[in-house]
Amino acid sequence: MTNSLHIPDLGLGTFRLTGHQVVDSVRNALELGYRAIDTAQIYGNEAEIGQALADSGVARSQLFLTTKIWTEHLGGDRLLPSLRESLAKLRTDHVDLTLIHWPSPNGQVPLTETLDALMQVRELGLTRAIGISNFPVALQQQAIDAVGAHEIATNQIELHPRLQNPQVVAHARQHGIRITSYMTLGYGQTLNEPLIQAIAQAHGATPAQVALAWAMARGFAVVPSSTQRANLASNLAARALHLSAQELAQIDAMDRGQRLVDPEGLAPQWD
């Protein structure tokens, strides 16, 4: 089954990182032991990431690279050439995971057309797996109906203690689709939560580690970003932090439906 592809529990996110900033972030992350890198066409940093990867000396076989197709490239005639351009920038002949970054605004490009194109690039060996991002339940079901849940490796969504998206998560789990959490630290707002801080203090950990450990304990992959080497190392160490069932339940109870990413003209009808 395609969605049995192992997505690393923790990778490096690169949203809003460009130029030397993203080169340094990727370089530091790889030196610290990160092997999963998450980017997107719209981030405008694939070339710099490619440079950092090439300079690192880390074998391609050890890396897990994700990119996302921008809405302008969702058409059947545009997706393949856009991915080839991404691969050239990343200096690789394939990525491990290719996602639809956002659903086509107002359904301008039929989802079946985009998914067919993604299946084609996978058959060509340009990506090992395909998936979706920012898909609510209705569109997630449409994707399942189109190609089968076994073809969808993940749905990458905004998910943090204040926004836990229970409907999307439950639907994905029902169909064996893994959730990837982005914005797991809630633009840093999560770090100021008294409960998160108290749990961190009890474990001698950082609030960021607590939020990331909670997400991973709930089965989500996470892709936090940072420009600071110390924070990159600290985030990576969250894999070793084990929270109690009570602590996990306390964080579960923090859900307020507080969405931070809701771009006008791009966001679908949320659940």
Active site residues: 43
Is 101 assigned a ligand-binding role in the annotation? yes
> What does the alpha-carbon distance between residue 157 and residue 133 come to, in Å, rounded to a whole number?
6
The CA–CA distances, whole Å, from 112 to 76, 80, 137, 152, 246 equal 9, 15, 16, 13, 43
CB 240, CB 268: distance < 8 Å? no
**Rounded to an integer, what distance in angstroms lies between the CA atom of residue 18 and that of residue 26?**
11
> CA 48 from chain center: how many Å?
19
**Measured distance CA(105)–CA(157) in Å, rounded:** 17
Residues 133/156, Cβ–Cβ less than 8 Å? yes
**DSSP 8-state code for residue 16:** T
As annotated, the binding site for substrate includes: 101
